[in-house]
Amino acid sequence: MPIEAVVCHVIRGDRILLHRKKRGHGAGRWNGFGGKIREGESPEECVRREALEEMGVGVENIREMGTLVFHNVNGEEWVVHVFLADVMGEPEESDESVPRWFPLDAIPYGEMWDDDRFWLPAVIRGMRVEGEFWFEGEELRRFTLHATEVRD
């Protein structure tokens, strides 16, 4: 049974909000905020909970942007729901993460999961993504990715 989780990115003007995880899955890497979906929790509820836990802020205007499947990441299977949202207030450091705004033209892909460089640019452009990524431990081996325009 795969682990079901969310990742949410916040874009404000020409900046993106990332956070460096202090512990757990992805510790030491920059990423959007998110985490595992709890029993009985919807993906959107998880986004709201993780924003408060990781950065002390609420979120609004939550938009579902796709689903990514990750195989054999340190021996685990993951299904991750991808979101964009707006934050209410200014994020603060927590015991889980250090938030930081980055210019969109200076995203630290070298300090992120290898797959981010392939799907995140499409999400930043407002596209919906569906993909599968095959890892060996934490090393990306191959992937498939489909990005489509979001229609109103």
Rounded mean pLDDT, 12-37 = 92
Over 80: is that where the pLDDT of 151 sits? no
Look at residue 142 in the predicted model and tell me its pLDDT.
97
For 20-31, the pLDDT digits (tens) are 989 887 889 999
Break the chain into its structural domains and give their ranges.
3-149
Over 90: is that where the pLDDT of 6 sits? yes
For 113-136, the pLDDT digits (tens) are 999 999 999 999 999 999 999 999
Locus of tokens 């499409």: 122
Query: In angstroms, rounded to a whole number, what is the distance separating the alpha carbons of residues 33 and 41?
Result: 17
Specify burial of residue 139 (Cβ count, 10 A radius: 0-12, 13-18, 19+). Answer: exposed
pTM: 0.95
Q: Give the β-pairing of 3-12 and 76-88.
A: parallel
- Per the structure block, which two tokens stand in for 36? 């595992």
CATH superfamily for domain 3-149: Nucleoside Triphosphate Pyrophosphohydrolase (3.90.79.10)
| Closest to 31 measured CA to CA, from 58, 66, 6 | 6
